[in-house]
């Protein structure tokens, strides 16, 4: 059990490329932290730095109350689950799980006890323990990889996109299992993913990264409801947030560049008058108005999801998506009008992308 | 693809059978020759059937020595060949495993220089560097020893390259997982890399054993004592005689015996050998 602290961490590669640019955040003891961002944002590099597989160019990483910058991976009291599982192909499942403990000179009866305990948690039966990794399915391999991490009883679990090699259905199932497992073991965990849904559902604490920097840190819902930047707003949520360009005309009102007006909650946003803004609206907060008032919406396509519908079209010269629950009927006819409540509108600075 | 073309099958088998005959017939003739007396062979009366001298010929080369030219028994020659081929094969594998491990997994100064130097030696076979090598071996007092027969042939660029290519296909995550699993460099080598290279090692062993067994020029140069001769040299010596009938029956019997160990190695390791050439376990 330990907290993890990152203090202005940098990673610069010998070629001069800086992958991580001054990242700071703290994961509390027992917390589940998810690093999320598009590929190339530095999240995996950061995780590997925490694991000790990459050197730290500048800044400090602490696990517990110990700075681990110069500590070897094996001495950091961590365990890592890799994207492609990284199981030793020539060892049985049992030996895969026992290998780390054997290297640490753990007595054999204790190893046996820990492996069988982990196997029970992960529902791996005795027959499976005798098999080689290649005789297992993807989901089973993933379990073994997690078992290898569990038996070590580390202070911190590190997960590097562990579910991305699994098919969609299994991914959802394993996601739930990982969450349950972490709740049960209460081990501090850091999890890297590019899948925002995985990030939202797993995290106690979400760290959104972009281009080597942290965009925002916080609880998933907080980030969803109060994104600090256009990037976070656009990254979290599926379908993503709609953005409309405009200029603040008077408090509470934005004149859209493509025509039309949008009301926003002046109690929450205080942009200077005349400022150029991006107005963000989540697809699920929008409905179609019946009386012909509101923003004109040119319907282009309706996607039926079963769970609901996605209505794609154009508003004020830009693409716009509306997510309707299943109980609603999709509008018929090309010309529609949108009812957008004022409290659904987020305002961001067009130039800096920051929340206003 | 499942095909059922009887004619194609028959044709393929005919060609294969023809190929087998071409290879096997001379070997069979060698065996037949080793069972006759020299007069029959010299007169060209050798038929297709084995003669009555099988036991005599073989017991002569094994227990009495081969007579005029090579005084040593063939079993001594076989032992010499076997020992030096084993040292060459295992030595080559051991050294190239270690050197390719260093080249692939460690960052040290002049790493690429070291790699290219090894690579360059591919272009200098034993024959090219034979004089300096002979000089060194002679100065070290290794003439007529097993060390002299095998050590100069051990350094191997081919095997090093082969293992290097193999190591580079081993996923980095395995190394990283091992690092986190508290395995140091030696443990990783012993517990992960070596077992993964098992089939490659077996395939190489077969090739290198035969390479060592078939050495001709080098043993010819550095062995002078009869009891250090290898069997390949022995055959040559039996064949070259002056002012007398070549004892072909003895030469052929020796050749048959000389053929057996490599064949045995191939047969025993065939499964691993094929596996090593066609598949990798990762």
DSSP string over A39-61: TTSSHHHHHHHHHTSS--SEEEE
Specify which residues A63 forms β-bridges with. Answer: A4, A66
ipTM: 0.82
Q: Does A153 share its domain with A255? A: no
Identify any residues that bridge with B161 across adjacent strands, giving them in sequence order. Answer: none
The answer to the question of residue A250 being in a domain is yes
| Mean predicted confidence (pLDDT) in A239-250 | 90
Structure token pair of residue A355: 């929340």
At A252-275, the pLDDT tens digits run: 888 888 888 888 888 888 888 888
Q: Quick one: which of A326, A334, A333, A290 has its CA closest to A310?
A: A326
Q: Which of A348, A345, A342 is nearest to A277 (CA)?
A: A348
Any idea what the Cα angle at residue B263 is, between residues B254 and B27, rounded to 5°? 55
Out of A234, A251, A269, a domain closes at A234
Option in B176, B181, B282 nearest A89 (CB) = B282
Q: How far apart are the first and last CA of chain A?
A: 39
Residue B11 in domain: no
pLDDT value of residue B2: 64
Give φ, ψ of B251 to 5 degrees: -60, -45
User: Is there a domain that residue A77 lies in?
Assistant: yes
Asked if the model's pLDDT at residue A316 lies above 90, the reply is no
**Which stretches of A135-286 are DSSP H helices?**
138-151, 168-185, 196-202, 220-225, 230-235
Tokens of A139: 């989901």
Q: How far is B185 from chain A, CA to nearest CA, in Å?
A: 12
Q: Which residues of chain B make contact with A51, given a CB cutoff of 8 A?
A: 176, 180
Please tell me the distance in Å from B105's CA to the nearest CA on chain A. 14
- Whether residue B9 is contained in a domain is answered as no
Q: Kindly report, residue by residue over B116-155, the tens digit of the pLDDT.
A: 888 888 777 778 888 888 999 999 999 999 999 998 888 7
For residue A167, name the pLDDT band (cuts at 50, 70, 90): confident
Give the whole-angstrom CA distance, residue A179 versus residue A176: 5
Q: A313 lies in a domain?
A: yes
User: In CATH, what number is assigned to the domain containing residue A98?
Assistant: 3.40.50.300
Residue B242 lies in a domain: no
The verdict on B143 touching A (C-beta cutoff 8 Å) is: no
Contact A80 B187 (CB under 8 A): no
The alpha carbon of residue A51 is apart from the nearest alpha carbon of chain B, in Å, by 8
Among B174, B177, B180, beta carbon nearest to A78: B180
Q: What is the mean pLDDT of residues A286-314?
A: 87
A19 contacts A45 by C-beta, under 8 angstroms? yes
Residues A129 and A160 in one domain: yes
Residues A214 and A272 in one domain: no
For residues A118 and A125, give the distance between their C-alpha atoms in angstroms, rounded to a whole number. 11
* Residue B248 counted as domain residue: no
The chain A residues in contact with chain B (CB within 8 A) are: 51-53, 72-74, 78-80, 82-91, 99-100, 103-104, 134, 148
Q: Residues A142, A165: one domain?
A: yes
Quick one: A53 exposed, middle or buried, by C-beta within 10 A (0-12, 13-18, 19+)? buried
Task: State residue B277's pLDDT score.
Answer: 67
Residues A152 and A298 in one domain: no
Distance CA A172, CA A353 (A): 32
B113 within some domain: yes
Q: Is B212 exposed, middle or buried (0-12, 13-18, 19+ CB in 10 A)?
A: buried
The three-class DSSP label of residue B119 is: helix
Of A80, A91, A134, the CB nearest to B180: A80
> Rounded CA gap, A328 and A3, in Å?
47
The Cα A27–Cα A49 span in angstroms is 15
Helix (H, G, I), strand (E, B) or coil at B198: helix
Residues of chain B with pLDDT under 70: 1-3, 65-71, 276-282
Task: Compare B65 and A319 and report the one with higher pLDDT.
Answer: A319
Of residues A294 and B186, the one with the higher pLDDT is B186
User: Is B140 domain-assigned?
Assistant: yes
- Is the peptide bond between A239 and the residue preceding it cis, with omega within 30 degrees of 0? yes
Whether A87 and A192 share a structural domain: yes
Question: What tokens appear for A165 in the block?
Answer: 């090699």
**Can you spell out the DSSP letters for A125-142?**
-HHHHTS-GGGS-HHHHH
The verdict on A15 and A105 lying in the same domain is: yes
Structural domain for A302, as ranges = 243-349
Quote the number of domains for chain B.
1
For residue A152, give Cα distances in angstroms to A18, A180, B96. Answer: 33, 18, 35
How far is the C-alpha of A97 from the C-alpha of A87, rounded, in Å? Answer: 9
Do A253 and A123 belong to one domain? no
pLDDT in tens, A89-135: 999 999 999 999 999 999 999 999 999 999 988 888 888 899 999 88
CA distance B58 to chain A (A): 46
Is the same domain home to A278 and A182? no
Q: Are residues A186 and A260 in the same domain?
A: no
Count Cβ–Cβ pairs < 8 Å, chain A vs chain B: 62
pLDDT of residue B282: 45
A218 band by pLDDT with thresholds 50, 70 and 90 = very high
Choose one of A214, A234, A254: the last residue of a domain. Answer: A234
Rg, chain A, Cα only:
24
Cβ proximity of A112 and B219 under 8 Å: no
A327 and A310 belong to one structural domain: yes
Residues A168 and A311 in one domain: no
Residue at A355 is within a domain: no
**Does the pLDDT value for residue A314 go beyond 70?**
yes
> Cβ–Cβ contacts within 10 Å for residue A105, how many?
7
Residue B252 within a domain = no
Average pLDDT over residues A333-340: 84
What's the first-to-final CA gap in chain B, in angstroms?
Answer: 27
**CATH label of the domain that carries residue B89:** 1.10.3720.10
> Torsion over CA of A121, A127, A131 and A135, rounded to 10 degrees?
-90
B182/A104 CB distance under 8 A = yes
Task: Please give the residue range of the domain that contains residue B223.
Answer: 63-232+259-278
3-state SS, one letter per residue, for B42-90: HCCCCCCCCCCCHHHHHHHHHHHCCCCCCCCCHHHHHHHHHHHHHHHHH
Residue spans of alpha helices (H) in A7-42: none
Instruction: Report if residue A356 sits inside a domain.
Output: no
pLDDT for A288: 87
Q: How many domains does chain A have?
A: 2
């Amino acid at each position: 059990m330990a907290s993890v602290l990152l203090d202005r961490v940098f990673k610069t590669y010998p070629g001069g490329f800086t992958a991580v640019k001054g990242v700071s955040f703290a994961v509390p003891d027992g917390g589940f932290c998810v690093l999320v961002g598009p590929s190339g944002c530095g999240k995996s590099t950061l995780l590997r730095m925490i694991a000790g597989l990459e050197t730290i160019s500048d800044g400090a990483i602490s696990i517990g109350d110990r700075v681990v910058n110069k500590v070897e991976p094996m001495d950091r009291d961590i365990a890592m689950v890799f994207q492609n599982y990284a199981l030793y192909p020539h060892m049985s499942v049992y030996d895969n799980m026992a290998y780390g403990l054997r290297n640490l000179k753990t007595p054999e009866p204790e190893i046996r006890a820990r492996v069988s305990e982990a196997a029970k948690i992960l529902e791996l039966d005795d027959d499976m323990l005798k098999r080689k990794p290649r005789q297992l399915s993807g989901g089973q391999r993933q379990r073994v990889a997690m078992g290898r991490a569990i038996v070590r009883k580390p202070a911190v679990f590190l997960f590097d996109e562990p579910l991305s090699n699994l098919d969609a259905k299994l991914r959802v199932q394993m996601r739930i299992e990982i969450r349950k497992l972490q709740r049960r073991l209460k081990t501090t965990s850091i999890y890297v993913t590019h899948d925002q849904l995985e990030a939202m559902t797993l995290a106690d604490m979400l760290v959104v990264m972009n281009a080597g920097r942290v965009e925002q840190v916080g609880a998933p819902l907080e980030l969803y409801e109060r994104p600090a930047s256009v990037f976070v707003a656009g990254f979290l949520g599926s379908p993503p947030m709609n953005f409309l360009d405009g200029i603040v005309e008077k408090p509470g009102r934005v004149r859209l560049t493509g025509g039309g007006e949008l009301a926003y909650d002046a109690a929450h946003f205080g942009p200077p008058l005349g400022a150029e803004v991006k107005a963000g609206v989540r697809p699920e907060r929008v409905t179609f108005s019946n009386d012909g008032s509101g923003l004109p919406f040119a319907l282009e396509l309706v996607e039926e999801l079963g769970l609901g519908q996605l209505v794609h079209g154009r508003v004020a010269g830009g693409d716009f998506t509306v997510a309707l629950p299943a109980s609603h009927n999709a509008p018929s006819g090309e010309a529609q009008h949108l009812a957008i409540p004022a409290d659904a509108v987020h305002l961001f600075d067009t130039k800096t992308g920051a929340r206003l | 693809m499942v095909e059922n073309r009887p004619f194609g099958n028959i044709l393929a088998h005919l060609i294969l059978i023809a190929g087998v005959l071409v290879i096997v017939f001379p070997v069979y003739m060698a065996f037949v020759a080793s069972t006759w007396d020299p007069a029959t062979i010299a007169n060209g009366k050798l038929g297709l059937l084995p003669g009555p001298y099988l036991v005599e010929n073989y017991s002569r080369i094994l227990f009495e020595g081969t007579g005029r030219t090579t005084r040593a028994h063939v079993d001594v020659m076989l032992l010499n060949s076997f020992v030096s081929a084993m040292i060459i094969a295992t030595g080559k594998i051991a050294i190239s495993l270690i050197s390719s491990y260093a080249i692939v997994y460690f960052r040290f100064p002049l790493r690429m220089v070291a790699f290219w130097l090894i690579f360059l030696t591919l272009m200098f076979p034993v024959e090219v560097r034979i004089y300096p090598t002979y000089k060194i071996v002679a100065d070290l007092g290794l003439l007529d020893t097993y060390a002299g027969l095998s050590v100069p042939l051990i350094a191997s660029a081919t095997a090093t390259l082969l293992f290097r290519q193999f190591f580079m296909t081993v996923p980095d995550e395995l190394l990283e997982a091992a690092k986190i699993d508290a395995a140091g460099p030696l443990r990783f080598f012993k517990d992960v890399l070596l077992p993964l290279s098992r089939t490659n090692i077996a395939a190489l062993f077969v090739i290198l054993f035969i390479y060592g067994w078939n050495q001709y020029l080098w043993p010819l140069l550095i062995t002078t004592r009869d009891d250090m001769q290898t069997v390949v040299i022995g055959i040559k010596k039996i064949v070259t005689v002056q002012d007398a009938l070549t004892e072909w029956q003895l030469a052929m019997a020796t050749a048959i015996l000389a053929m057996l160990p490599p064949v045995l190695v191939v047969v025993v390791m065939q499964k691993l050998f094929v596996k090593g050439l066609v598949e990798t376990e990762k």
